[in-house]
Structure 1
Amino acid sequence: MHPLEHPEPELPFQRQVDDARAERALRAALDAGATHVDTSDAYGADGHNERLVGRVIKDRRDEVVVATKFGLAVQEGEESRAFPVGYAFRELRVNAEPRLIRGYAERSLANLGTDVIDLYYAHYPDPGVPIEETVGAMAELVRDGLVRRLGLSNVTAAQLRAAHAAHPVAAVQNEWSMWRPVDADLLATARELGVGIVAWSPLGSGFLTGGVTELGAGDFRHNAPRFSAENLAANHDRYEPIRTIAARLGLTPAQLALAWLLHQDEHVVAIPGSRTPAHIEENVAAADVTLHQDTLAQVAEALAKAEVAGATLL
């Protein structure tokens, strides 16, 4: 499967986007062979990204698997609970109470302009709600034909196991890249249960493209310790061997990062974000790259030495 195209937001999900540019990028992804679009009701104010996706796929609905998420775009008047994150803003606010889930789904269906969501995720586990209760309400959406498959995002192995016991989980979405290993217990549990892994931020928020050496004013990544000026410089030096391997193979650093990830497990799919057709075509081409075992061993050796500066904080 080709890498999934992910209209990747910047937390806390309200960044302004150029709609025309975004629509061109998404169309380019579909034209290049991407078959899965990942979004969320929290990406942009009032479901902005879902509505953008809906416009693009309107006449191409049968070409794509549409995935979206719920739980962060909590309607006014409803309480929410803190989910800690390592960014400078420290937490996200979540509400995944069963009584709200049908409303979330109906709102997303309207935004997307479709009558069914192919893959529906709980965006983050709600600290105040057992995951199996959330999934139980999601299962009703499958029963009623509003959703085809269920997913979980940013969960632990124990949460995945509990949720899967309530209703089969098709995919679990967690961060995974050359500079953010997936949790070993989560990966083992997913393999045991037959759950696919969808890797978000497979290019390390752009770092693994090799072109990020400094950040401009207003860049969201200022919230991430890995991207502080000192840490970014150190990380750039430490990942030089990876860029060298990519050059030797005739690949871009991004293509090597994506191809490497797709070689880690037969059921992993990457969702790189991009705003330009050229980068999207570059990313999609990585799905056709076969890495020799010797190359994978060289990459593993280089990664073992590349201790990430700022990793303990994010």
Structure 2
Amino acid sequence: MGEVGRMKLGSQGLEVSEQGLGCAGMTRSDSQLKPEEDLIKLIHHAIDSGVTFLDTADIYGHHANELLLGKALKGGMREKVELATKFGLCSVDGKLEVHGDPAYVRAACEASLKRLNIDCIDLYYPHRIDTRVPIEITMGELKKLVEEGKIKYIGLSEVCASAIRRAHAVHPISAVQLEWSLWTRDVEEEIVPTCRELGIGIVAYCPLGRGFFASGAKIVESWSTEDPRKSLPRFQPENLEYNKTVFERVNQMATKKGCTPAQLALAWVHHQGSDVCPIPGTSKIENFDQNVGALSVKLTPEEMSELESIADAVKGGRDPDVAVLLSWMNSETPPLSSWKA
């Protein structure tokens, strides 16, 4: 297992482990859940291994994820971690809604603090952008929460470049969370350069292509009927059959490198820069150890290019059409002048 170093996330003073742990899958209702004591053991193993940047959200497991982390971080563990959580996504009559108005921001923060059993959240993100509310209004309430000591640093998730600039003008943003992997690279054109211009760190979620680069096409065989990935274009039969060959080529390259395809794909994300922190998720200690091992995989510029050319052949889009509203592509908000409280 590789040694986990430390990194600065953004330019506001936040320091985290150079690889984080995405906790969402630990409490997904569509997956075969592991006993709570096993998940707490995994979280403690991660912390002991040096992976101290833990990522959760209030909507994960309908609050169960935050409650799990609250239990896991008792007894002195809280001081060892950098805890990030998110708000803004909620299920109303079975449909997802996004809320970023000041009253909701404050109520969500108070509820997360209680579930996590902590006094202050290290990094707090709007999970998605409420396109009905000027981003300055959402940020204004988050700024108040910083001033009150309830959160330390502010992040953004799935947000376009112009909204990043508007938000950053209200209060410095420490991190932007975005989907970034070998087969999801659209953020490289404008969002990543904007973050770097403004000194904002980058948190890459789904760095293994939603598990594809860990297991290949056979991953779909382990999914429950409710798994949300079933609707993704890349996993539809007509595309998956073609994408099998992409995984096989990555696997061949990994074999030559003496690592697993998951480690190779994760190493590619690590090699994007010292300002990038990937947060692969798992509920198994053996998978966690393998992910940490990616830190020991070194790639030459030629190998990076070869991997990218292989992944460029992937068929199918990132999201189904119904999910576009929840991505950065439609995350602009109305001008501040339009807001009537």
CA distance in structure 2 between the partners assigned to 1:51 and 1:135 by the alignment:
26
Can you give the 5+ residue segments of structure 1 that lack an aligned partner in the other structure? Answer: 81-88
CA distance in structure 2 between the partners assigned to 1:259 and 1:203 by the alignment:
10
Instruction: Count matched residues.
Output: 298
- What are the within-5 Å matches in structure 2 for residues 3-18 of structure 1? 3-9=19-25, 14-15=29-30, 17-18=33-34
CA distance in structure 2 between the partners assigned to 1:313 and 1:204 by the alignment:
15
Q: Return 276-285 or 209-218, whichever deviates more.
A: 209-218
- In the alignment, what sits opposite 1:196? 201
Aligned: 1:65 with 2:72: no
Aligned-pair distance for 1:300?
2.7
- In the alignment, what sits opposite 2:233? 225
CA distance in structure 2 between the partners assigned to 1:176 and 1:182 by the alignment:
8
CA distance in structure 2 between the partners assigned to 1:131 and 1:108 by the alignment:
21
- In the alignment, what sits opposite 2:98? 94
- In the alignment, what sits opposite 2:171? 167
- What are the within-5 Å matches in structure 2 for residues 248-267 of structure 1? 248-267=256-275
Aligned: 1:287 with 2:291: no
CA distance in structure 2 between the partners assigned to 1:137 and 1:312 by the alignment:
31
Change (3 A) 1:93 1:117: same
Can you give the 5+ residue segments of structure 2 that lack an aligned partner in the other structure? Answer: 1-16, 322-341
- In the alignment, what sits opposite 1:85? none
SS at match of 1:5: strand
Change (3 A) 1:311 1:121: closer
Does structure 2 retain, via aligned residues, the 8 Å contact 1:98–1:134? yes
1:40 to 57, 67, 74: 57
Aligned-pair distance for 1:7?
1.0
Residue by residue over 1:158-214, the C-alpha shift from the partner in whole angstroms, topping out at 9 and shown as x without a partner, is 111110011100000011101111422111100000001101111111001134423
Aligned-pair distance for 1:278?
0.5
Does structure 1 retain, via aligned residues, the 8 Å contact 2:26–2:282? no
Q: Which of structures 1 and 2 has the larger relative contact order (alpha carbons within 8 angstroms, sep 6+)?
A: 2
Does structure 1 retain, via aligned residues, the 8 Å contact 2:146–2:152? yes
Aligned-pair distance for 1:293?
2.3
For residue 308 of structure 1, what is the amino acid of its counterpart?
K
For residue 207 of structure 1, what is the amino acid of its counterpart?
F
CA distance in structure 2 between the partners assigned to 1:217 and 1:48 by the alignment:
19
1:144 to 138, 141, 148: 148
Aligned-pair distance for 1:225?
1.9
1:297 to 305, 314, 334: 305
Aligned: 1:24 with 2:31: no
Change (3 A) 1:131 1:10: farther
For residue 246 of structure 1, what is the amino acid of its counterpart?
A
- In the alignment, what sits opposite 1:84? none
CA distance in structure 2 between the partners assigned to 1:31 and 1:158 by the alignment:
39
Does structure 1 retain, via aligned residues, the 8 Å contact 2:135–2:167? yes
SS at match of 2:173: coil
Q: Return 54-63 or 256-265, whichever deviates more.
A: 54-63
2:116 to 107, 112, 116: 112
CA distance in structure 2 between the partners assigned to 1:102 and 1:285 by the alignment:
39
- In the alignment, what sits opposite 2:338? none
CA distance in structure 2 between the partners assigned to 1:203 and 1:300 by the alignment:
14
For residue 310 of structure 2, what is the amino acid of its counterpart?
A
CA distance in structure 2 between the partners assigned to 1:37 and 1:298 by the alignment:
32
Change (3 A) 1:72 1:311: closer
- In the alignment, what sits opposite 2:314? 307
SS at match of 1:101: helix
Does structure 2 retain, via aligned residues, the 8 Å contact 1:206–1:212? no
